[in-house]
Amino acid sequence: MRIEKDTMGEIEVPNDALWGAQTARSLQNFKIGKEKMPKEIIQSFAILKRSAAIINNDLGKLDNEKTRVIVLSCDEILESLHDGEFPLSLWQTGSGTQTNMNVNEVISSIATNILGGDFKSKKLIHPNDDVNMSQSSNDTFPTAMHIAAVIGIEDKLLPRLKVLIETLDAKAKKYMDIIKIGRTHLQDATPLSLGQEISGWAMMLQKSYAMIESSLLHVRELALGGTAVGTGLNAHPEFGQRVAKEISRFTCKDFITAPNKFHALTSHDALVFSHGALKALAADMMKIANDVRWLSSGPRCGIGELKIPANEPGSSIMPGKINPTQAEAVTMVTCQVFGNDTTIALAASQGNFELNVFKPVLINAYLQSLRLLSDVIKSFNDNCMVGLEPIKDRIDFNLHNSLMLVTALNPYIGYENAANIAKNAYEKGISLKESAMEFNLLSEEEFDNIIKPEQMIIPKA
């Protein structure tokens, strides 16, 4: 162990740890749970710290050598060379102050080493005065939250969602001529094509894609430049705007400085709104997964119209059983996302006066939803939807045994007469055609000309 000092006094720190006193105090004071600060937040902090150093240098506040080593240190963090140096619990101060200082201390030590010094004896780059220059935890943590959200959605979630949409679009086109019975209320309805049904799934996800993309509009606003309470104390008036441009340049993402820093520190409505779009995607994924497992149920004693890939044995006792495991994974993820949405809404509604102090739990829930949806969408696409196939014989059997084909007779014999034919067929266990002939309302030839499922899937004048 070595002894480190901060404004609270001395404290022991593991000898080889790059972090210092404030990280040590957090480890000592917050032995809560197993959840750690998400790596995405640490990486986003590295992005903002390097950007802040560059702009402070441009503004004449930080010299060239200090700027150089701070940037190099941040780049090492971004390359995941020091992941073990960020051990803090998620359950810490609600502003994320300890994580901000954890990052500052690690950057300080790396930079000191680059300069040829010994971080264990003297920091040549000060964690507060140099690394944290023009910043406060109160504006850096919400900035990191927004950076992590935008990068995660644009680089991971949306590309994977696009692939699933493409899979569904291809299936919709391929199966557009396979006519099947529709179902509403879990009961037989009028026909449609399998392609039409799948096109509905694809459109759900296209809408979700657009909503998620548009929800980033306000997440692109960064709080940096507000410092402690939104006034920008100890920061140059141009600092926030110029850092946002530098972050945009470095990440190749669009960011702007928040127009009102008092709002940016105390409110997280942008993330609430954005997670609402993730929740909408989760709801659509739940619906699609449930449709897939209903339609593939059986395979002989259920609906059995779709064949899902046989990825693994489905039972430890029943040989040959195949279960819709990918659909089950989707539905479990969506339950977690729904729960995260409640956590985010509650967290965003709290805090007092100039600062929301529920930031770590809020961004952890958001990022978990983002990760889970990204991963499960890829898994569902690759391990289920790509290999999904129709069982044509079963589809045709169900189609021609449905009583709801009688709907096509409405314009010719009226709703009540058609209903009587269907009811009679159901009660006697006979076909619609046999039932219709008993009522003598139309000829056998007329019945055959009207009841054509392939003509019932589009509007008719």
Interval 32-81: pLDDT, tens: 999 999 999 999 999 999 999 999 999 999 999 999 999 999 999 999 99
Indicate whether 338 pLDDT > 90.
yes
Annotated catalytic residue within 315, 431, 435, 443: 315
CATH 1.10.275.10 in the chain is located at: 2-133
Per-residue confidence (pLDDT) for residue 266, from 0 to 100: 98
Average pLDDT over residues 140-158: 98
Identify the band that residue 460 occupies on the pLDDT scale cut at 50, 70 and 90: confident
Longest CA–CA separation in the chain, Å: 102
- Give residue-wise pLDDT tens across range 179-233: 999 999 999 999 999 999 999 999 999 999 999 999 999 999 999 999 999 999 9
Indicate whether 98 pLDDT > 90.
yes
Output the six-digit token pair for 290: 């449930």
CA dist., res. 158 & res. 374, Å (int): 8
Indicate whether 461 pLDDT > 90.
no
Beta bridge partners of 6: 9
Q: For 405, which DSSP code?
A: G
CATH match for 402-455 among 1.10.730.10, 3.40.50.300, 3.90.120.10, 1.10.40.30: 1.10.40.30
Per-residue confidence (pLDDT) for residue 364, from 0 to 100: 98
CATH match for 139-234+259-393 among 1.20.200.10, 1.10.132.10, 2.160.10.10, 3.90.380.10: 1.20.200.10
Q: Are strands 256-257 and 221-222 parallel, antiparallel or unpaired?
A: parallel
CATH match for 2-133 among 3.30.360.10, 3.90.550.10, 1.10.260.40, 1.10.275.10: 1.10.275.10
Identify the band that residue 351 occupies on the pLDDT scale cut at 50, 70 and 90: confident
Would you call 236 a catalytic residue per the annotation?
no
Average pLDDT over residues 431-459: 96
Residue type, 311: N
Q: What is the mean pLDDT of the chain?
A: 97
Annotated catalytic residue within 26, 109, 136, 185: 185
Identify the band that residue 9 occupies on the pLDDT scale cut at 50, 70 and 90: very high
Would you call 95 a catalytic residue per the annotation?
no
Cβ atoms of 102 and 88 closer than 8 Å = yes
pTM of the predicted model as reported, rounded to 2 decimal places: 0.96
CATH 1.20.200.10 in the chain is located at: 139-234+259-393
Long-range contacts of 240-247 (CB under 8 A, 24+ apart): 242/55, 242/58, 242/59, 243/48, 243/51, 243/52, 243/55, 246/51, 246/54, 246/55, 247/47, 247/48, 247/51, 247/147, 247/222
